[in-house]
Amino acid sequence: MLSDQINRTLAEKLIDAEVNKHEVIKLTAEYPELSIEDGYRIQDEIVAIKAEQGYQVFAMKMGFTSMAKMKQMNVDEPIYGYIFDYMAVDRGELSLSELIHPKVEAEIAFILGKDIEGPGITGAQVLAATDYVVPALEIIDSRYQNFQFTLPDVIADNTSSSRVFVGSTMRNPLELDLDLVGVTLSINGEMKDLGAGAAVLGHPANSVAMLANMLARRGRKLKAGQLILTGGITGAHQLYEGDVVSAKWDGLGSIDFTVK
Ligand code: 0L1
Ligand code: MG
């Protein structure tokens, strides 16, 4: 286990890379023994430093929620991270100059109406505790060179969180078959990807349940009002200056933005 001092130093290094928009070599190159627990401790340091700087948590997120991605990373559990208030984009433009090498992925997000505390939470309990679901486009921007990392590295890097667009259509989740909700993701008029909610652990509510159960191991819970991104339904697609991005969800509207 790394010392608190090293965790703090590594968190500062990753924040510096984010703020000054430069890549760093993955932490495991220097600390090959870095564990998943170490990764979450470094992530906690990032959350603490952001709070000291006056930023608030805007949302939580799950990543690696597709079976294909978990297989690729050789893991049997997704990962979670935090999205801060300054990461929420409220107009249809993504500023490339603020980022390193961003990618976009389409997701479904939940807004809870009640606290959820694991362990043992199920998708059905999540649906009963959810006020709304909304569409979201997550922008991931790993601070690591060429998105090269191991699982502990990406957890330490706050799961590549960088920006998010949240759509304006809010639906009660019981009005939709969320596993069947289709999504298309187009860039510059060309459809790049498509998928259905079932790509996320069979049903996006399962992702929220898993998050609650993972947090319970660390004595934490999800709170009423919390926004949670459940993981990519589509793959993540690299963005370039001038790109026009458009995503459509069946029954949940659309989100459009331009990369400036
Ligand atoms: O799916 C996610 O949001 C996790 C992203 C972390 C992995 C990456 O940067 O590709
Ligand atoms: Mg994501």
Q: Which of 60, 62, 81 is nearest to 199 (CA)?
A: 62
Lowest average pLDDT, out of 69-73, 123-127, 222-226, 230-234, goes to 69-73
The predicted model scores a pTM of: 0.96
The model's pLDDT over 17-27, given as tens digits with 9 standing for 90+, comes to 999 999 999 99
Minimum CA distance residue for ligand 1 atom 1: 63
Instruction: Look at the chain and count its residues.
Output: 260
Amino acid of residue 33: E
Query: How far, in Å, is the centroid of ligand 2 from the Cα of 41?
Result: 20
Question: What average pLDDT does the chain have?
Answer: 96
Q: Where are the domains of the chain?
A: 4-259
Question: From the CB of 231, is ligand 1 less than 6 Å away?
Answer: yes
How far away, in angstroms, is 77 Cα from ligand 2 center?
14
Residue 72 reports pLDDT greater than 90: no
Confirm or reject: Cβ of 63 under 6 Å from ligand 1: yes
Closest residue (by CA) to atom 4 of ligand 1? 63
* Short-list 165, 232, 200, 220, CA closest to 47: 220
Helix axes 36-52, 4-19, angle to 10 degrees: 60
In this prediction, residue 103 carries a pLDDT of 96
| Ligand 1 centroid – CA 187 distance (Å) | 19
> What's the pLDDT band for 67 if we cut at 50, 70, 90?
confident
Which tens digit of pLDDT belongs to each residue from 177-229? 999 999 999 999 999 999 999 999 999 999 999 999 999 999 999 999 999 99
Q: Which residue type occupies 83?
A: I
What sign results for the dihedral spanned by CA atoms 167, 259, 24, 51? negative
Which atom of ligand 1 lies closest to the CA of 232? 1
State the distance from the centre of ligand 1 to the C-alpha of 115, rounded, in angstroms.
26
pLDDT band at 55 (very low <50, low <70, confident <90, very high): very high
pLDDT tens digits for range 75-131: 778 999 999 999 999 999 999 999 999 999 999 999 999 999 999 999 999 999 999
- pLDDT-derived band at 74, boundaries 50, 70, 90: confident
Counting ligands in written order, which one lies closest to the CA of residue 70?
1
147 CA → ligand 2 middle, Å = 14
From 58, 228, 253, 61, select the one nearest 129 (Cα to Cα): 228
160 lines ligand 1 (CB under 6 A): yes
What sign does the dihedral 94-96-97-98 (CA atoms) show? positive
What pLDDT does residue 77 have?
82
The predicted structure's pLDDT at residue 69 = 77
Residues sharing a CB contact under 8 Å with residue 78, sequence separation 6 or more, in sequence order: 62, 63, 64, 65, 70, 201, 207, 210, 231
Interface TM-score (ipTM) > 0.90: yes
Mutate to test the pocket of ligand 1, among 69, 160, 163 (most ligand atoms within 8 A of CB): 160
Q: Phi first, then psi: what are they for 189, rounded to 5°?
A: 80, -5
Stretch 39-43: mean pLDDT, rounded? Answer: 98
Whether 232 lines ligand 1, by a CB cut-off of 6 Å, is: yes
4-259 has CATH 3.40.50.2300 classification: no
Q: Are 123 and 206 within 8 A, CB to CB?
A: yes
Is the pLDDT reported for residue 73 higher than 80? no
Pocket test of ligand 1: the residue of 67, 153, 154 to mutate, having most ligand atoms within 8 Å of its CB, is 154
Q: What is the pLDDT of residue 15?
A: 98
pLDDT, average across residues 131-143: 98
